[in-house]
């Protein structure tokens, strides 16, 4: 899916398909993490793998208010145990399908909000 919204931020998402995500200056393989200051392909392949220990290295370099997790074609959600554990990181978490996650990320990053996107 292609997105028409573009901002001055180079990490704005241009398009996404089954295996790749295209930013204005680079194409990444999925799974990956994107924020205003960082882009990185990751080894997390399922929602069940997400924990504080897995997310901490991704989140430690900048202060984010929200982490959006793209869960594929369909929305899936973290378990209650994961939600409680991750709440200790002090940021909001939202899970949604990849297209919605990318659209939300573009909107928030264009408003200069401290947001991260994890696409699985």
Find the domain containing 33 and state its range.
Answer: 13-119
Q: Is residue 26 part of a domain?
A: yes
> pLDDT for 40-56, tens place per residue?
999 999 999 999 999 99
114 within domain boundaries? yes
* Inside any domain, residue 108: yes
Cα distances from 9 to residues 61, 108, 117, in angstroms, run 18, 11, 14
Three-state DSSP class for residue 33: strand
Domain count, the chain: 1
Kindly report, residue by residue over 99-116, the tens digit of the pLDDT: 999 999 999 998 999 999
Cβ burial of 56 (10 Å; 0-12, 13-18, 19+) is exposed
Residue 39: give its domain's CATH number: 3.40.1230.10
How far is the first Cα of the chain from the last one, in angstroms, to the nearest whole number?
16
Domain presence at residue 55: yes
Report whether 68 contacts 116 (CB < 8 A): yes
Mean pLDDT, contiguous 10-residue spans, the chain (120 residues): 58 94 94 95 95 92 94 96 92 96 95 95
> What per-residue confidence (pLDDT) applies to 25?
87
């Amino acid at each position: 899916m292609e997105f028409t919204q573009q901002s001055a931020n180079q990490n704005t998402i241009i398009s996404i398909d089954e295996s790749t995500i295209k930013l204005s200056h680079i194409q990444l393989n999925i799974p990956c993490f994107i924020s205003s200051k960082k882009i990185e392909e990751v080894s997390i392949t399922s929602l069940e793998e997400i924990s504080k220990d897995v997310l901490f290295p991704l989140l430690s370099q900048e202060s984010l208010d929200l982490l959006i997790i793209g869960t594929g074609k369909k929305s899936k959600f973290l378990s209650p145990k994961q939600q409680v554990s991750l709440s200790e990181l002090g940021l909001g978490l939202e899970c949604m399908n990849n297209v919605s996650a990318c659209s939300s990320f573009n909107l928030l990053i264009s408003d200069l909000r401290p947001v991260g996107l994890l696409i699985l």
